[in-house]
Structure 1
Amino acid sequence: ELPLNPLFTIDSLQTPFGLLRVFSVVIPFLYVGTQISKNFAALLEEHDIFVPEDDDDDD
């Protein structure tokens, strides 16, 4: 059985700049993902695989 060390607690396990690290990873990958999906949607529309229809039901 491991002896309990009062110097090593749960509070000492916090990562410095944790939230900053999360945002520095999430934001660029979100941006890259949106650019990829925009380019893929344009490619599908260019090759007439998927063309969104304009529904003019305002009449």
Structure 2
Amino acid sequence: MQGELSPNMAIAIASSKAKKLLLPIHRSNIEIIGIAAEPLPHLVEKLLAQIRKCMEMEDENVRG
């Protein structure tokens, strides 16, 4: 596999209660309206920033 999702994998991911963070990777014949095309390294930086934010919020919730 080269990053493809099987139907069963997609169902398992979608049905999970976990928060999902998606990277809008542009591929031929697929266009995501309202999302600017950015280089993958920029998207990864944004993803990491969001993960850090989620972890900080989780830490605050645990501490009370």
TM-score, normalised to structure 2, is 0.39
**Which one has more relative contact order, counting CA pairs under 8 Å at least 6 apart?**
2
Q: Which has the higher helix share?
A: 1
